[in-house]
Amino acid sequence: MADQTSDLPTTELWVERTGTRRYTGRSSRGAEVLIGSESVEGVFTPGELLKIALAACSGMASDFPLSRRLGDDYDATIRVSGAADRENEVYPHLEEEMVLDLSELDADARDRLIALVERSVDKVCTVGRTLEAGTEVSLTITPED
């Protein structure tokens, strides 16, 4: 299957410092998100954003098979949790729970749909696949002149 997003312009992403341990994340498409430490009200921590990205990716990866079987107006809530290992500064385990109303389906149809959703998420959730595989991260420090 061809990459359907290859013709789209690349979205630029950046954060700007707005205060002590406070940042605003921005995209070239006009989106904003407030980021800060746990002690700051009204912001997400970077770790919370990572978890939200995982849950949103799972939701988006499962949207097509679920809407095809449950209808376009189905409700879904995806909860994600996982405590940080502060000694090593990693999240050793993240747990997702997708809550769906499958009461209209018989047991066999429900089991088939759950298996299809799991395959879809495993196959196309880029965030989950990246977390499971690990990724190389590089940082360049650029002094302003």
Over the stretch 102-122, which tens digit does the pLDDT of each residue have? 999 999 999 999 999 999 999
CA distances for 65 relative to 72, 73, 93, 113, 127, angstroms: 10, 13, 26, 8, 19
Regarding whether 50 and 36 lie in a shared domain, the answer is: no
| Whether pTM exceeds 0.95 | no
Residue carrying the six token digits 């959703």: 117
pLDDT in tens, 50-78: 999 999 999 999 999 999 999 999 999 99
Same domain, 39 and 68: no
Strand partners, 98: 78
Domain of residue 29, residue span? 12-43
Q: Indicate the number of domains in the chain.
A: 2
Both 72 and 24 in one domain: the answer is no
Backbone angles phi, psi at 23, to 5 degrees: -140, 160
